[in-house]
Amino acid sequence: MRTNWFDRNQKWIYTMPAVLFVLLMMVFPILYTFRISFYEWSMSSTTPPKWVGFDNYIALLSDARFWVTVKQTFIFTFGALIVQTVLGVAIAVLLHREFFGKNLVKTIFLLPMVATPVAMGLVWLLIYEPSIGAANTLLKMIGLSPQLWIASPSQVMPSLILMDVWMWTPMISLIVMAGLATLPTEPYEAADVDGASTWQKFWYVTLPLLRPTIIVAVMLRLIDVLKTFDIIYATTQGGPNMKSETLNIYGYTLGFQYFKLGMASTLLVIFFAIVMALTLLMIYVRKRLEVAS
Amino acid sequence: MKRKMKRWMQGTLAAVLAVSMLSACGGGNDKPSQGVEGEGAAKPFQGKKLSIATANHPWGDAIKELIPQFEEETGMKVDVQSYFEDQLSQKLTVQFTSGSATPDVFMYSPLQHAKQFYNNGWLQPLDEYVTKNADYDFEDFSKASVSTNTIDGKIVGIPTITEQHILYYRKDLLEEANIAVPKTMDELLAAAKALHDPSKEMYGFSARGQRSALVSQISSFMYSEGGEFMRDGKAFLNSPESVKGMNTYATLLRDFGPPGVLNMSWPQAIGVFAQGKSAFFADVNSIYLNAADPEKSTISDQIGYAVFPAGDAGSQPFNIASWGIAMNAKAADKDAAWAFIEWATSKEIMLETQKLGNPGSRLSVWASPEGTVAFPKELAEVTMETQKGGVDHSLPQVNAVGEARDIIGSIVQRAITGEDIQAAADQANKEFQALIDNESGQ
């Protein structure tokens, strides 16, 4: 009897844990955040949240600091994304050939990706230290003048982008390498017959064939880079002078340092919309390209 | 199927047992075992548990060492958790918001949190406790330190650490260059300039340059020129006096400071000084061990201490209670919690912690010869001299201190990166005024 009931309801029972998880850990927080974004609440247990309608949205959209963080979020995202995509594809193509010790090189190359971001942030903090850090020691060794790195308002963004590139280029390479392994050999044979050079084969055969893979890799990274928090918080906390403050860092500051829970939620709702819009755009671009090819 | 069922049952049973055991532990707090009370007053809290949150601060470390003594005397079991300063305040906020009854007792920074925590109903007023026991002698605490812990006439915490802003300098370098110890801002600027030699990795002056951390440090520079964060409910940041004070600080760090100063809070700044790379260092006296401990410092025997230099309005450094200890308003057993606070801030224990280099808040401890043994003679003299006057706050007296600090700190950061300080101050003044208006409007 029991077994029958179990069999009949299997589809519900097996999916229940996943559905519950998504409801509790994802849907509920998002809806709750959306709700708080219409309240003013300072985390006080004596004064309850106060309904303020769209006041938080108006205040945030007219806040100069918000727009600066939006700009900085995009600079960081696209700076990191472009560099790591180009590098990642190049490295994947290089590693795709056969050579001695290939697996060892591949493994070492993937290490930054598996390290804990906060721990790596702390390591980079030491590397970037202006007087005794490894970065400046290296610069001095090759005869260049030492830099301020993350302690300089103008260099902090490139320095953080460099960290992100170091950490996540392997992920792009990994995906692209998987894509390379599935490519058909016929187009290459045809190219050989036509007398194409190595460069021409890469540009006119490999890249177009890889395009769907690269787009998937870029889309995954795009969402991830947009919401980068750990490495920035571990190194600069948005400083010096707010020059590395991204949307996520500003949201954290609003919520847990200023205790403006309503404003922080508003910011996250807007951020959510931005991520959503960019993702939809990427999906649209991908479909267009697939149709075109 | 049956076997699977059985295994599943076992798992559930284990989980249920674990939960009931946990709740048994929690329940222990509410019900003191009956038999113990019969043993008399010797160990009134036998078997009780108390949870304490401390900051990673020398006072917290010192008190942790002494806690076995307290456990021995009272029979209580004390569970201590330590956090970095920022994390402590975040942890407390999150726990209290969720209505947690723990920690029962915690270290807190009165200037940063007293007002906000008390207004949120998180702090237990201690007025009736401090007078319970005549031996406790609450009158013994310095007035300035108690006033920092008093909100709306209620005592909400007991001051444990007092701090004064002083000037640290390198005796050997000043002697070598034949420069007298600076007594005014102009002398300090000139001396820092003379000793600044970046090609030898020697910098004139080091101090905090991080946006939020530097705000308490510029307060003394502003007060000494006659400036202030706010005056009579009006932001006072762009007044000539305040700007002059901030400008001195920004100039010292921009022109004679170590590289990367914008990312330095006090640990990094005193690190530069302790590694022998700066001639002057200005910060609170309570962290002197970071430079005077031979294990942490290469120049421990060459440190001089001086009273904060005078500006147009004389020498006006802050003189505050930087740390206090307070009770959770929801603490399960308030008498037990108070017993710990009373013990930790008693004359005997404060003498012990002060002997380890933690400048306390009891005047009798300062007056006793034993009370100053931990401090270099010069530092003790400078401290006692500074305690006579000074200003009782180092941060703006608003609810949203964190937000105000970010607004104010950006003035100096922008000046250090070469922007016009008056323009930065004008803009910050507007934002700060909006924050003040917003709070008074509520």
pLDDT tens per residue, range A81-110: 999 999 999 999 988 888 888 888 888 888
Residues B62 and B157 in one domain: yes
| Positions in chain B whose pLDDT score sits under 70 | 1-42, 442
- Number of folded domains in chain B? 2
**pTM value?**
0.77
Report which of residues A115 and B191 the model is more confident about: B191
Task: Answer yes or no: is B23 within a domain.
Answer: no
**How does pLDDT run across A186-212, given as a tens digit for each residue?**
888 898 899 888 889 888 989 989 988
Please tell me what DSSP assigns to residue B309: P
Tell me: do B239 and B143 sit in the same domain. Answer: no
Same domain for B314 and B429?
yes
Report the distance separating Cα B50 and Cα B343, nearest Å: 13
Handedness of CA B406, B412, B417, B419 (dihedral sign): positive
- What residue numbers bound the domain in which B71 lies? 49-161+321-377
On whether both B251 and B366 belong to a single domain, the answer is no
Give the confidence band of A293 by pLDDT, cuts at 50, 70, 90.
Answer: low
Do residues A231 and A120 touch, judged by C-beta distance below 8 A?
Answer: yes
Q: CA-to-CA distance for B180 and B165, rounded, in angstroms?
A: 20
Distance from the A274 Cα atom to the nearest Cα atom in chain B, whole angstroms: 26
Residue B39 in domain: no
Give a yes or no: residue B425 inside a domain: yes
pLDDT tops 80 at residue A31: yes
Q: Residue A43 is nearest to which of B97, B260, B410, comparing CB atoms? A: B97
Nearest to A249 by CA among A157, A183, A169, A181: A157
User: Are B395 and B219 within 8 A, CB to CB?
Assistant: yes
Final residue of a structural domain among B330, B351, B377: B377
Mark whether B244 and B268 lie in a shared domain.
yes
Beta-carbon contacts of residue B205 (< 8 Å; ≥ 6 apart) = B188, B192, B196, B252, B253, B256, B257, B278, B279, B280, B281, B282
Residue B218, C-beta contacts closer than 8 angstroms, at least 6 positions apart: B245, B246, B249, B408, B412
Does residue B328 sit in the same domain as residue B216?
no
User: How large is the greatest C-alpha to C-alpha distance in chain A, in angstroms?
Assistant: 81
User: Does residue A81 sit at the B interface (CB-CB below 8 Å)?
Assistant: no
Q: Are residues B85 and B54 in the same domain?
A: yes
Same domain, B150 and B257: no
> Please, which residues 38-67 of chain A have a Cβ atom closer than 8 Å to chain B?
43-47
Best residue in A259, A260, A263 for a mutation probing chain B (most B CBs within 10 Å): A259
Least Cα separation, residue A241 to chain B (angstroms): 6
Of B329, B357, B377, which marks where a domain is finished? B377
CA B239 to chain A, closest CA, distance in angstroms equals: 22
Same domain, residue pair B365 and B397:
no
Kindly identify which residue of chain B lies nearest to residue A47, measuring between CA atoms. Answer: B120
Using the Cβ of B261 and the Cβ atoms of chain A, whether some distance falls under 8 Å is answered with yes
Q: What is the CATH number of the domain that holds B115?
A: 3.40.190.10
Interchain contact B122–A (C-beta under 8 A)? yes
Would you say residue B18 lies in a domain?
A: no
Contact B336, B104 (CB under 8 A): yes
CB proximity under 8 Å: A 135-154 to B: 146, 148-153
Asked if A200 has any chain B CB less than 8 Å from its own CB, the reply is no
Same domain membership, residue B179 and residue B140: no
DSSP B180: P
**Is residue B199 one of the residues assigned to a domain?**
yes
Which residues of chain A does B260 touch, with a Cβ-Cβ cutoff of 8 Å? 129-131, 148-149, 151
In a shared domain, residues B285 and B267: yes
Q: Which fold has domain A68-292?
A: MetI-like fold (1.10.3720)
Residue in A46, A148, A259 closest to B259 by CB: A148
Q: Is residue B9 part of a domain?
A: no
pLDDT of res. A129: 85
pLDDT the model gives residue A86: 95
**Chain B neighbors of A139, CB-CB under 8 A:** none
Residues B121 and B257 in one domain: no
Percent of chain A residues past pLDDT 90, beyond the cut: 47
The answer to whether the CB atoms of B413 and A130 lie below 8 A apart is no
What is residue A2's predicted lDDT score, i.e. its pLDDT?
62
| B390 domain-assigned | yes
Hey, what are B191's tokens? 């001396």
The predicted structure's pLDDT at residue A44 = 66
Among A4-13, A235-244, B37-46, B320-329, whose mean pLDDT is lowest? B37-46
| Per-residue confidence (pLDDT) for residue B389, from 0 to 100 | 77
Distance between CA atoms of residues A255 and A258, nearest Å:
6
Q: Is the per-residue pLDDT at A123 higher than 60?
A: yes
Question: What pLDDT does residue B26 have?
Answer: 39
- B225, part of any domain: yes
Do residue B260 and residue A148 have CB atoms under 8 angstroms apart?
yes
Percent of chain A residues past pLDDT 70, beyond the cut: 97
